[in-house]
Structure 1
Amino acid sequence: MRTTARHFGRLGLTTLLLLVSAFETAPVVAQDLERFLPNHGNSVYEAKGLLRQWPAGGPKELWRAEIGWGKSAVVEARGKAFTATETDDKQYAVCLDPLSGEVLWKSLLYPKNNRHFVKGPVTSPVVDGDRVYFIPYAVDRDVWDMCAPILCLKTDGSELWRQDTAFFGTEASTPIVVGDTLYVSTDSRDRIVLVALDTKTGDVRWSIAMKETEKGRELGAPASLTYQVVDGIPQIITATYGTQEILGVHAATGQIMWRYSYPAPISIGLVATPVAIGTKLFLCAGEGKGKDFSALLEMKVADGKIAYEEVYLSSEFQNNAYNTPAIYRDAVFGFGGNKTAGFLHATNLADGSLLWKHADREWTNQQNLVVADGLIFALSKNNELVLAEASREGYKELGRVDTRLDLERPQQPTVANGRLYLRGTDTVVCYRVIP
């Protein structure tokens, strides 16, 4: 029925006000989260209708569950939440009920613990329809004696396939699914740093190996993979430890189209995931002691291949140690400073200039944040979750809550279907962030 002014007159003032209120309030949109970072690498979630202000006590806590050690983020899809954990010196895939935190199933991934960087698994699961991919990680004596099998489970916990012979997954680097291909950053005695696998069988479609360097062995870097399409050409963006470079690899053929050497001598490889925005690629690192940078590359196609042009390079801002920045409305939200004193800030994507800076004792460059529905969800070094506007104009806080978690090196929050998940060292907490 077409609504006219005459109809509004018949409805009455109360009904009219209710209708206006409904139009002014953004609808809550159900949104699964199959990967803790979208494939473009940007820490911005497509959630809508989230709370714009928190009460004094923070958002409603739905549940908290002690599930074991690890830094694997929580993802949610098809009514189930997934993460990885370590209990009794063994690493497991875990499926949780998003409404209650109840463990629905637990499946053994690897019969040894992980003590390399943190306690427990670090790489986050990726959901692909009725399948979910996991990578546990363990070392026997040193980093070169790793074991990190790539496993595909059904969403009921049963194993479909695994890859653990010619190569292993890279610790902390989360794989990516595009169509029927699973791309994985890898470690290998044969210097293989990236593989493309059939999602249903685990069969290798292609792999790329790096040249010899003075470091001898080669590893993939901790940064997760990024997918970008430039003028119809698809690329996977990955980073390396030994050759210390970022690679643009043709997603269909495995051809390395371009290489970008780290602008600073990062000792552990790139950690923050490259962020693709249209034809742009934003990069950053914050290891400290002169090993900090942020850069913007512009991608273009030449002779049937993607190439890049460096737009700017800075060591002043966006030196995020672990955080993958959130780019929203052409502003880059992230952290600067160092591991003891820092700031939350926003920079202009186009030229890297500072938009605003919020310097406080609660921030270091080792914190983490995401953006959803125009809101920043940031984790302070005091283990608080802080809500603020994702604005180019300045810092405006909208609420905070003491998470009562030991966040240590914090994993980023994840938001799905009106719920926000935080992963502590041994506990997951879930908040309701919709009205």
Structure 2
Amino acid sequence: MSTADAPAPRGWLRRYRVPIIAVMVPVIARLVMLFMERTEIGLEFYFGTLMAFQFLTMFSVLTLAVWFVFFSGFRFAVRAAGVLIAACAVAAAVGTIRKIEFDGKMNPTVRFKWEPTDEQILASHLSSAPAAQDGAVFTIGATDSPCYRGPSGNGLAPGVTLAGDWTATPPKELWRHPVGTGHAGIAVAGNSAVTIEQREGDEVVVCYDRATGRERWAYAYPARFSQSEPMGGDGPRTTPAIADGDVYSLGARGDLVCLDGSIGSPRWKVNVIADNGAAIIDWGVSASPVVVGGLVVVNPGIDPKQNANQAVAAYDRKSGKKVWANGSKPAAYASPQRVVFGGKEQVLVFDAAGLGGYDLADGAELWRHPWKTSMNMNSAQPVVVGPDRVFVSSELSNGGAVVEVRYDDAEKKWQAREVWHTRALCARFACPVVHNGYIYGLSGGLLVCVDAKTGKQVWNDGKYGDGQIVLSGDYLVISAEKPGRVVLVAADPSEFRELGSMPVFKDRTWNVPALAGNQLFMRNHREMACLELPTVK
């Protein structure tokens, strides 16, 4: 055969076009995500792009493997060596990685098998930590935080004037220790702080000494809500409520317990999922109980296969007997809260279908405003922004809006209408606050200031991830997501001013903090800490 008859060698671009395309496609998707993050353009499509990026990455790896083994044209020895190296890498990963955790933007953190487990760290701490010597006293002071998002449920911490400069006088750590896993918040009253943790196969309501962090009592019962790490991980999600010396706690599988706060013994217990014919939703029961008068109100939701129409339920907080139950909508992840619209006290519920107002007397639904989010992810707590007006927000696809609720005397019925809508503030599960006519919230990881009257964005700055915010006077105390740190920002619509920052945790921090006086109680799924914030002397 002559040289002229030999086939021409393939060009390198043609030979390697498959691996080039396989690598470039997920790279382009990642660049699009970075563009969205930096420019805030198209953020409503961010998580769709994220899921596409994850799928394309896995598909590209598979494509590269098939191409390398069957179509690359490399010698057998080269391909065999490549397969061996890949197999060793996979074996090494399986043999050394215990689990992979993710933050709100699905950025991974790897946990290795040679590191002590969270359960081992907690068990070691509990075996050696001294117990608190005095008894629990739950007398609620003017500056305490006895329930989810403070005494009024709106993220406002009253009664203390924080210092606006942490340079000369930074926050002081009073104590820290390991805790059981979960995304629960902390209730603080009297000399105690209460949270709910996952310890092995039990959910455990734990009372800690406020001054030292030492455990006073722990009430455990068999329950474990498990979820994959990309979906948030295991453990309870709610914040206990304290009232008249009793502690009300709701677990991720629906166990509502009332405990004698002085010793942690149960007064009564009911599973609100079973009691109301509901089904546990994807991320577990996340709506904290709210105490209103003689009632404790919860949002168990429904079973979509057989709707019992008991989505919102109220229990007598002394006896645990059900007083009323009503509502036909699936639960989401925000908590019931007491509000007054049109001069009438009612329970505001942000469920999977939207906003609804329920009569405290009998649970009748008074009004409804639709707000549907992908995968029912209505999570951020609505916040009242003015007379008969409430701000609601969820995922990047939805943005946020102010809804006006009023009673129409002429038509003899309640009405809810949207006043304005914005894409500037998409709170996801970072609850916003309102101060002097402006809404402050986290959107795409940035702190955003929005005019509550018009919905116009005033400014956005800072990078705090999917953290949480507490309002104290003229300051925003922000628990940043990753790494967990506390940040002080001026609640000032004229400009963004970060006044101080202090690292607290190394890991992601989603749990809602509690500010009681100048004591800031923070926790994540591994640790709990108490900081003393500087005040004006």
TM-score by length of 1: 0.81
* CA distance in 2 between partners of 1:275 and 1:41 (Å): 9
Shift in CA distance, 42/112, structure 1 to aligned 2, threshold 3 Å: closer
SS at 1:186 equivalent: coil
1:283-294 alignment runs, 5 A limit: 283-286=392-395, 288=396, 291-294=397-400
- Any idea what the Cα deviations from partners look like across 1:349-375, whole Å, max 9, x if unmatched? 0111111111x4x334x2322211211
Specify the alignment match of 2:111 in structure 1: none
* CA distance in 2 between partners of 1:305 and 1:157 (Å): 45
* CA distance in 1 between partners of 2:223 and 2:439 (Å): 41
- Any idea what the Cα deviations from partners look like across 1:235-282, whole Å, max 9, x if unmatched? 1111333xx2221111212111111111x5331231011112332111
1:306-317 alignment runs, 5 A limit: 306-314=414-422, 316-317=423-424
Shift in CA distance, 105/188, structure 1 to aligned 2, threshold 3 Å: same
The range that moved more, 171-180 or 223-232, is: 223-232
Shift in CA distance, 113/206, structure 1 to aligned 2, threshold 3 Å: closer
* CA distance in 2 between partners of 1:307 and 1:52 (Å): 42
Q: Which has the larger strand fraction?
A: 1
Specify the alignment match of 2:36 in structure 1: none
Find out whether 1:295 has 2:395 as its counterpart.
no
Q: Residue 382 of structure 1: CA displacement?
A: 3.1
Pick one of 186, 190, 209 that aligns with 1:78. 190
The range that moved more, 196-205 or 304-313, is: 304-313
SS at 1:187 equivalent: coil
Specify the alignment match of 1:237 in structure 2: 348
- Structure 2 gaps of 5+ residues are 1-140
* CA distance in 2 between partners of 1:305 and 1:232 (Å): 14
Specify the alignment match of 2:109 in structure 1: none
Specify the alignment match of 1:429 in structure 2: 529
Q: Does the 8 A contact of 1:69 with 1:87 survive in 2?
A: yes
Q: Residue 50 of structure 1: CA displacement?
A: 1.9
SS at 1:127 equivalent: strand
Q: Residue 154 of structure 1: CA displacement?
A: 1.1
Which AA in structure 1 matches 2:473? Answer: D
Find out whether 1:208 has 2:309 as its counterpart.
no
Shift in CA distance, 55/119, structure 1 to aligned 2, threshold 3 Å: farther
Q: Does the 8 A contact of 2:339 with 2:346 survive in 1?
A: yes
- Any idea what the Cα deviations from partners look like across 1:59-82, whole Å, max 9, x if unmatched? 000000112111111111122110
* CA distance in 2 between partners of 1:101 and 1:402 (Å): 19
Find out whether 1:265 has 2:373 as its counterpart.
yes
Q: Residue 111 of structure 1: CA displacement?
A: 4.0
SS at 2:224 equivalent: coil
Pick one of 247, 270, 275 that aligns with 1:166. 275
Which AA in structure 1 matches 2:522? Answer: L
Q: Computing the radius of gyration over CA atoms, which structure comes out larger, 1 or 2? A: 2
Q: Does the 8 A contact of 1:347 with 1:355 survive in 2?
A: yes
* CA distance in 2 between partners of 1:402 and 1:39 (Å): 27
Which AA in structure 2 matches 1:281? Answer: V
* CA distance in 1 between partners of 2:419 and 2:190 (Å): 41
SS at 1:45 equivalent: coil
* CA distance in 2 between partners of 1:235 and 1:30 (Å): 24
Structure showing greater relative contact order (alpha-carbon pairs closer than 8 Å, 6 or more residues apart): 1
Find out whether 1:327 has 2:434 as its counterpart.
yes
- Any idea what the Cα deviations from partners look like across 1:16-38, whole Å, max 9, x if unmatched? xxxxxxxxxxxxx9511111224
Q: Residue 158 of structure 1: CA displacement?
A: 0.6
Pick one of 470, 474, 488 that aligns with 1:387. 488
TM-score by length of 2: 0.66
Pick one of 82, 94, 102 that aligns with 2:214. 102
Which AA in structure 1 matches 2:335? Answer: S
Which AA in structure 1 matches 2:234? Answer: K
Shift in CA distance, 396/59, structure 1 to aligned 2, threshold 3 Å: same
Q: Does the 8 A contact of 1:226 with 1:276 survive in 2?
A: no
Q: Does the 8 A contact of 1:36 with 1:74 survive in 2?
A: yes
Find out whether 1:247 has 2:356 as its counterpart.
yes
Specify the alignment match of 1:125 in structure 2: 240
Shift in CA distance, 39/151, structure 1 to aligned 2, threshold 3 Å: same
Aligned residues: 376
1:43-58 alignment runs, 5 A limit: 43-55=155-167, 58=170
Q: Does the 8 A contact of 2:339 with 2:345 survive in 1?
A: yes
Specify the alignment match of 1:144 in structure 2: none
Q: Does the 8 A contact of 1:233 with 1:306 survive in 2?
A: no
Q: Does the 8 A contact of 2:201 with 2:222 survive in 1?
A: no
Across the aligned residues of Structure 1 and Structure 2, the Cα RMSD in angstroms comes to: 2.1
Find out whether 1:88 has 2:200 as its counterpart.
yes
Shift in CA distance, 223/31, structure 1 to aligned 2, threshold 3 Å: same
Q: Does the 8 A contact of 1:80 with 1:96 survive in 2?
A: yes
Find out whether 1:224 has 2:335 as its counterpart.
yes
Which AA in structure 1 matches 2:192? Answer: K
The range that moved more, 317-326 or 104-113, is: 104-113
- Any idea what the Cα deviations from partners look like across 1:3-48, whole Å, max 9, x if unmatched? xxxxxxxxxxxxxxxxxxxxxxxxxx95111112247542222131
Q: Does the 8 A contact of 2:184 with 2:512 survive in 1?
A: no
Q: Residue 56 of structure 1: CA displacement?
A: 6.7
Q: Residue 392 of structure 1: CA displacement?
A: 1.3
* Percent of aligned pairs sharing the same letter: 23
* CA distance in 2 between partners of 1:131 and 1:283 (Å): 31
Q: Residue 200 of structure 1: CA displacement?
A: 0.6
- Any idea what the Cα deviations from partners look like across 1:181-200, whole Å, max 9, x if unmatched? 11111134425210011111
Pick one of 243, 257, 262 that aligns with 1:151. 257
Q: Residue 94 of structure 1: CA displacement?
A: 0.3
* CA distance in 2 between partners of 1:230 and 1:415 (Å): 27
